[in-house]
C-alpha cells in the first residue's frame, strides 16, 4: 500500500526536500523509501520512512546480496542518516548563530574558497567554450574538490548551506563525467591538452551536441558555485 500521503508530506518537509544521505536538493525528484521493506513487515509510518534522491534510492533498493559490490546501506545506517539530517534541518539556521557552529561553517567555506578559486577553475568554467581545446590541468581544482567533498569534515552544519554545497558537488561530478566521456587527449609536444573528439570535427552534429553538453555543464557548475558563495557571504558574514 505504501506510505499514506500525510506521512510522506511530513517526511519530505522534515528533510526540506533534500536527500537524507547525500543532502542534495531534490525538488520534485524525491522518493520515500522504506527503511525496513514492506515485504519484511516494515510499517508505513514516519519512523520507517526516509526521503531519498533517485540515485541514493536506487543504491538503497537494488543492492544484490548474491553479487556484493561495495557496502549495502543497513537499516540502522539509513536511520542514522535520516535522524542526523532531520536534526540539522530542524536546527538551521538557529544553530549557525551559535558561535561554535558559525566557526565550523566559516572554516568549511574558507576551504571551498581555497580549493575552487575565482581566478582559476571558476573563471575557466565561466568563460571557456568547450568547442575549443583546453589544458587538462584546468580541471585539477574540480577533481580536488570532489575528493575533499567525500570527507565528513567538508559538510556544513547549517542545512541550507549544506544543500547548496551538495548541489555544487553534484554539478561538478556530472561535468567531470561528461568531460571524461566526450573529450580526448590532444597530441601536443608539451602534452596535457584535451578537446572534443577529432572524429566528428567542427561542423558535425555530434561535435555540436558535445560542445552544448559541456558548455551547459560548466554553466551549471558556475551557477551552483555562485549561489553557494552568495548565500555563505550573507549567512556567515565572511568573504
Q: Which residues here bind Zn ion, judged by CB under 5 A? A: 19, 21-22, 53, 56
> Of the two residues 32 and 139, which places its CB atom closer to Zn ion in the complex?
32
Nearer to Zn ion, 214 or 228 (CB): 228
Q: Phi-psi category of 237—alpha, beta or left, where left has phi over 0 and alpha has psi -120 to 50?
A: left
Nearest-approach distance from CB 124 to Zn ion, in angstroms: 28
Rounded to a whole number of angstroms, the minimum distance from the CB of residue 237 to Zn ion is: 30
CB of 165 to Zn ion, least distance (A): 13
- Which lies closer to Zn ion via its Cβ, residue 171 or residue 214? 171
**Four-residue CA torsion sign, 34, 35, 40, 41:** negative
Which lies closer to Zn ion via its Cβ, residue 56 or residue 229? 56
Provide CB contacts within 8 A for 28, sequence distance 6+.
none
Give least dist CB 162 to Zn ion, A.
12
At closest approach, how far in Å is the CB of 22 from Zn ion?
A: 3
Nine-digit cell at 57?
Answer: 534510492
> Which is closer to Zn ion, CB of 154 or CB of 183?
154
Compare residues 138 and 174 and give the one whose CB is closer to Zn ion: 174
- Least gap, CB of 53 to Zn ion (angstroms): 3
Confirm if 158 and 92 have CB atoms less than 8 A apart: yes
Least Cβ distance, residue 117 to Zn ion (angstroms): 28
Nearer to Zn ion, 146 or 211 (CB): 146
Closest CA to 160 of 57, 210, 230: 230
Instruction: Give the list of residues 6+ apart from residue 47 with CB closer than 8 angstroms, or none.
Output: none
Amino acid at each position: 500500500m505504501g506510505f499514506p500521503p500525510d506521512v510522506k508530506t511530513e517526511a519530505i518537509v522534515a528533510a526540506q526536500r533534500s536527500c537524507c544521505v547525500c543532502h542534495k536538493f531534490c525538488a520534485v525528484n524525491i522518493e520515500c523509501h522504506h527503511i525496513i521493506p514492506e515485504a519484511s513487515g516494515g510499517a508505513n509510518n514516519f519512523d520507517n520512512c526516509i526521503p531519498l534522491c533517485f540515485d541514493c534510492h536506487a543504491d538503497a533498493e537494488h543492492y544484490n546480496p548474491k553479487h556484493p559490490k561495495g557496502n549495502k546501506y543497513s537499516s540502522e545506517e539509513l536511520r542514522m542518516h535520516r535522524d542526523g539530517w532531520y536534526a540539522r534541518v530542524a536546527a538551521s539556521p538557529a544553530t549557525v548563530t551559535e558561535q561554535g557552529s558559525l566557526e565550523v561553517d566559516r572554516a568549511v567555506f574558507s576551504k571551498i574558497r581555497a580549493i575552487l578559486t575565482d581566478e582559476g577553475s571558476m573563471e575557466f568554467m565561466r568563460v571557456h567554450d568547450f568547442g575549443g581545446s583546453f589544458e587538462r590541468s584546468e580541471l585539477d581544482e574540480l577533481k580536488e574538490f570532489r575528493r575533499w567533498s567525500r570527507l565528513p569534515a567538508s559538510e556544513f552544519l547549517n542545512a541550507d548551506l549544506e544543500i547548496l554545497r551538495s548541489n555544487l558537488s553534484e554539478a561538478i561530478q556530472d561535468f567531470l563525467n561528461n568531460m571524461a566521456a566526450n573529450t580526448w587527449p590532444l597530441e601536443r609536444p608539451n602534452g596535457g591538452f584535451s578537446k572534443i573528439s577529432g572524429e566528428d570535427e567542427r561542423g558535425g552534429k555530434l561535435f555540436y551536441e558535445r560542445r552544448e553538453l559541456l558548455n551547459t555543464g560548466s554553466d551549471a557548475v558556475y551557477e551552483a558555485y555562485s549561489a553557494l558563495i552568495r548565500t555563505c557571504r550573507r549567512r556567515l558574514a565572511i568573504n
